[in-house]
Every structure is written in C-alpha cells, then in structure tokens.
Amino acid sequence: MNVDSYLELFTTLFGWLFYNILWDVLTATGIVFLPFLGILIDHWRDAAGDAGSGAGVGMSLRRMEIELFLALLVVVLAGQPSALMPLDAATLSYTPPPTLADPVPNVATPGTPRSTFGTAGFAGPPASVNLPVWWYTVLAMSSGLNHAVAAGLPSVADLRTYEQRARLATLADPRLRREAGDFFSQCYVPARSRYQAERPDTPAVRALLATHGPDDPDWMGSHVYRTTPGYYAALRPSRPVPGWTYDPVRDTEYSPGAPPPWGRPVCRQWWEDPSIGLRSKLVDQADATSAGFSGLVAAVAPGLAREDQLDAVARVVLDNAPPAWSNNALVRGNTVTGGWLGTAERWIKGGLAAGGIVAASALFSVTVTALLQALPMMQAVLLLGIYALLPLVVVLSRYSLSMMVAAGMAVFTVRFWSVLWYLALWVDQNLIRSMYPDVNVFLQVFANPGEHDLKRMLLNMITTSLYLGLPVLWSAMMAWVGMHIGRSIATAASPLARGGDDAGRLGGGMGKAALRR
C-alpha cells in the first residue's frame, strides 16, 4: 500500500495502533455496548408510550430488530479490528516525486525510511496492526486511486528545487572570498571602467551582448571582458596570486634569479583555468555549500553550453556572497548615473524596493518554500488523528451506517489532497516556464532577490492559493456530497422501518382477532 509522504509511513501505523488501543479500552470498559442499550431503551420507551396497542409494540419490536442488525453490521465492518485485514509495515511504501536534483528517487519503507522518521522520531512502529474491514477497504481504494491519478498526470520537473538550492550556494571559504575580492578590484573594476569609457560598438561586442544578454558586462565573469582584446586578456593583478606558479615568460617584472613564490596570471587565465581558476573554485564552493548545485543547473538547462552553465553557477554564488567579499560602492559607481541625478535615482529605487515589492516577494518566497514542506506533514499528522479517534466516532454515532460512509469519505478526502498538490505543482511549473521562457533569464533572476519581484510575487501568490485553495474547495465539495449521501442512506433505510411497521400492524391485528374469538 502506497502512502504520500515519509512521515505518513509511520503516522499510518501509529494511527491504527492507537485505534486498536482505544477500541480495546472501550471494549474492556463496556462502553461499546452502551449504544445497544440505548437502542433497547428508545424502543422500550416507544412501546411503553403505545401501551395497550399491540400494533405499537409490534412496530417497536420490528424497528429494534432492524436497528440492532444495522448496528451489528457496522460493528463488524467498521468497529472491531479483524485479523483478516492486517496492515503490515512491510507493505507500506512511499515513492517521492522526481525532482531535478533526484530524477529517479529511491522508494522509502518503514525498514529503510531514508529520513529521520522512524529512527530519531516516531520510532518503534508496530510490524503489523489489524484494521476493521471497512477502513482497510477505504485505505486501499484511496491509495490506489491517488497513485493512479498521479501516474496519469503529466510529469513535471520541480523548478522550485533550483530556487531553494540556489539560495544555499554561497562563499563560505574566507580565503576564496578574499581571492574573489582581489579579482573584483584588480580585474573587473579596471575592465568595467574602460568599457564605460570606450563603449565599444563592434560587431563582435554586439554579438556577445545578443548572446549573453545586455547585462553581461555587469558581473565579473563577463564574456565581453574575457573575449574582447584589451580587457581581461591584457590585465593582470598588481601582486602575486597564491596558487599560481611563477612564469618567467609572463612575469617579466621579476628577476629569474630571484623569482617570487607565486606568479601574476592574466585576468582571463585567472578566471577560466579549469583546475585553479576562480570560476572553477566558485563552482566547487557551490557544490560544497549546496550539494550538487552545478549538476542541478545542468539539469535545468541541458541545452545550454557547458561554459554558460559554469558561468551561471559562479554568478549565483557571487550574488549570494556576503557583502564583505567585495567593495559594492565600486559597482554602484561604475554602473549608475553619476552626480545628484544618480544619487536621487538610487534613493528612489532603494526606497521602493525596501518598502514594497521586494519585501512582499521575499515573504511569499519564504511562505511558499515552507508551505510545500509543511503540507504533507500536516496531512500525515491529521490522518493520524482521524485514525486514532475513529473508535469514538463509531461508538458515539450509535453505530450509524451513514456515519460509516461519511467517515470513509472524510478519510478519502484528506488523502486525496496529495493529488491536488501534484496538480498545483504541475500548474506552478508550467507558469514558471511560461513567465521565464529564456533559460538564461531563469538561471540569473529566478533565485536572485530583487530581480523581477513583481512577477515572482505573482507566481508565489498563485502557487500559495492553489496549494491551499484546492484542498479547501475539494473538502467543501466532499462535505456537501457527504451530507447528501447521509440523507440518501437514511432515506434508503426508511423502507426497512416501514416494513417493520407493517409487520407490527399485521401482528397486532392478528392478535386482536385471536382474542375476540
């Protein structure tokens, strides 16, 4: 039997364990027999009210027989756990939906939970627990229906995985942070200043900007600076860089007889070298702080050139880096309008961002991320509570047949939430692809706070409303259906009572006739 979350592997077993415990307590204290006593008292009272009427006594007797029969049926089907319907831990499993980070996820079982559930917490679940026939049937049917529907829906790649993992990739190594700061001040700032002064408009530069975007010159790994002559290919740091060996052909400032411990690489070489280059180190740092992030970027954009994939990883790390790694004042001084007009522009932009859209977008991003993680856990805990309290519902309803059907629908309704969340996920991923059709734009701005905040806030609002609204709508619809089914069952049972009334009247008439004779 399949469940819908790691936690539900254990809450299902514990929920039905509590059901058995509570049922045993109700049985041992005799509370399970009180509804039968209530049925007898009700019909005795009705018969006593019709004293002297043989027809009334007969009708009451027939009604009592029918109601006792239905109550016993409910006890057998939905009350007493049956050894014929054991729920074995070995039969429970959970298959997580595929994601970009894990396209072929492993199946989790109570024996191999692949989580801390069952080991650090929720430990010691029963190996097997008996279920009543009706509830086992409801669980089996809802599980089969859920997974049949989910399997029929189109598969999606969870692009929000990228957003979550991108926020974790940062510069945690202080030495690498210092090296990035040195590259910024000794390579990027001179190249950026020259680019601002010259504004080259050659066909080669226009082609680079068309391929990599007009904002390509605004970051350290710019293809314009790396490719155009006179920029990174002509710039070198003012002092040796640790890790780079001395090259007498390149490092002509030093005497070959007394070489320095380290050399001064060309800025392009410093960035691009596949083994000790800064970009290579940034990619390794991304994988260290957000495991497998470079592979995740390749999965998001498989058609993108490997060079662009590495640049995307490095750019995310630099965007998330603490502000101490670089002099951000230099960036502002080289990227915005100068003078009082530039100051006013920065004040206006900063005020709008801090006071409005950025804050709202960040709030919704946090809400969506927490929501996607919390909802399956809430569902599992809620099902545990439903399973554990069912014995009281069965007894307090006086073994009502309509209660049995309505409670079964309630269990099915809550379990079907998983299908609705998969549908919401499918809609969310298609909205993301529609709003960010360019994969380069998606990689650069989707996980970058402050970029396209209005669009991201709209996405997060829609996603939140779907994840919360669809279950609420579905539950309301099922509550309406349950009310009508309960009325239908009561209506269907009324002919049985009428049959008892007719039999009672006939028996009473026969008794009166016999007395007259």
> Could you tell me what percent of the chain has a pLDDT over 90?
30
Residue 152: CB atoms within 10 Å: 7
Q: Is the pLDDT of residue 496 over 60?
A: no
Query: pLDDT tens digit string along 401-433?
Result: 888 888 999 999 999 999 999 888 888 888 888
236 has a pLDDT exceeding 70: yes
Check: CB of residue 59 under 8 Å from CB of residue 27. no
Region 247-270 average pLDDT: 85
Question: In this structure, what are the phi and psi dihedrals at residue 469, rounded to the nearest 5 degrees?
Answer: -70, -40
Per-residue model confidence (pLDDT) at position 339: 46
Which contacts (CB < 8 Å, 24+ apart) does range 428-437 have? 428/160, 428/459, 428/462, 428/463, 428/466, 429/156, 429/157, 429/158, 429/159, 429/160, 430/156, 431/459, 431/462, 431/463, 432/159, 432/160, 432/459, 433/159, 435/459
Residue 259: burial class (beta carbons within 10 Å; 0-12, 13-18, 19+): middle
65-74, 99-108, 288-297, 352-361: segment of lowest average pLDDT: 352-361
Q: Which residues contact 52 (CB under 8 A, 6 or more apart)?
A: none
Q: What angle separates helix 278-289 from helix 174-183, to the nearest 10 degrees?
A: 140
- Reference 268, options 260, 253, 279; nearest CA is 279
Cα end-to-end span (Å), the chain: 67
Residue 26 is predicted with a pLDDT of: 94
Identify the pLDDT of residue 490.
61
Q: Which of 200-214, 325-339, 483-497 has the lowest mean pLDDT?
A: 325-339
* DSSP 8-state secondary structure symbol assigned to residue 322: -
**Mean pLDDT to the nearest integer, 213-219:** 87
Q: Can you tell me the mean pLDDT for 304-315? A: 87
pLDDT tens-digit profile of 85-121? Answer: 899 999 999 988 877 777 788 899 998 888 889 888 8
Mean pLDDT of the chain: 80
Task: Report whether pLDDT(143) > 60.
Answer: yes
| pLDDT of 480 over the 50 cut | yes
**Residue with the two structure tokens 């007259």:** 516
Mean pLDDT of 205-233: 89
The CA R_g of the chain, rounded to the nearest whole Å, is: 36
Domain ranges of the chain: 8-162+360-516, 174-356
Q: Residue 117 in 3-state DSSP? A: strand
Which amino acid belongs to residue 205?
Answer: V
H or E segment at 82?
Answer: strand 82-88
Report pLDDT for 429.
Answer: 85
Cα–Cα distance for residue pair 287/173, rounded to 1 Å: 13
For residues 283-307, average pLDDT: 86
Among 63-67, 412-416, 463-467, the range with the most confident prediction by mean pLDDT is 412-416
Pairwise CA distance, residues 339 & 210, whole Å: 30
DSSP count for the chain of H helices, then E strands: 20, 2
* Residue 205 · residue 224 · CB < 8 Å: yes
pTM assigned to the model: 0.75
Which of 320, 274, 268 is closest to 293 using CA atoms? 320
